[in-house]
Amino acid sequence: VRQKDTMKDFLYKVERGLRLFNKVFTEQAEVLWESIISLHALADDINEFHHKAKIAGISGGTTTAVGTVAAITGLALAPVTFGASLIVTAVGVGVATAGGITSASAAISDNVNNKNEPARLRAKLKRDCFREIILLQRTISKNLLDAQRLAVLIGVYSNGR
């Protein structure tokens, strides 16, 4: 009877250990899932920023072209309009300059963002995911060791009968 009670206690502890492992494993999986969702959001932000910078660059380039055309047109018409079209030239130069600044700013912002984001992403991975993966790995290793001990004990109990 004593051996039977010891075996029941042992099996109860094993069952409790498996339940605890399942609980911890499920919690860690949820944390990892949340980290993955967060990383997807970060990737979406990077993509959206790049997309907007590209649009700003194209808009700036188009504005520069329109301003340049206006400036050239104003210069070409100056003899005919007795210099009155030089106002169009001045406005065209201003528009072309603004377009160039917009295009350059978009390119610079995109480059800076592209250089900073990998560091931010690495920091997030280290902070969130790797810590959870290591904790999960330790939990699995501990439970595998407990399972090996259980196998040895079961072998001892079955050989002792």
What residue segments make up the domains of the chain, in order of their start? 59-142
Is the torsion defined by CA of 145, 148, 150, 156 positive or negative?
A: negative
Range from 55-69, 88-102, 126-140 carrying the lowest mean pLDDT: 126-140
Q: Per-residue confidence at 45, pLDDT binned at 50, 70, 90?
A: confident
pLDDT above 90 as % of the chain: 34
Which pLDDT score is estimated for 51? Answer: 92
The Cα 116–Cα 127 span in angstroms is 17
Which pLDDT score is estimated for 148? Answer: 75
Range from 43-47, 68-72, 78-82, 128-132 carrying the lowest mean pLDDT: 128-132
Of the candidates 112, 96, 102, the one whose C-alpha atom is nearest the C-alpha of residue 58 is 102
Which pLDDT score is estimated for 155? Answer: 66
pLDDT in tens, 99-134: 999 999 999 998 888 888 877 777 777 776 677 777
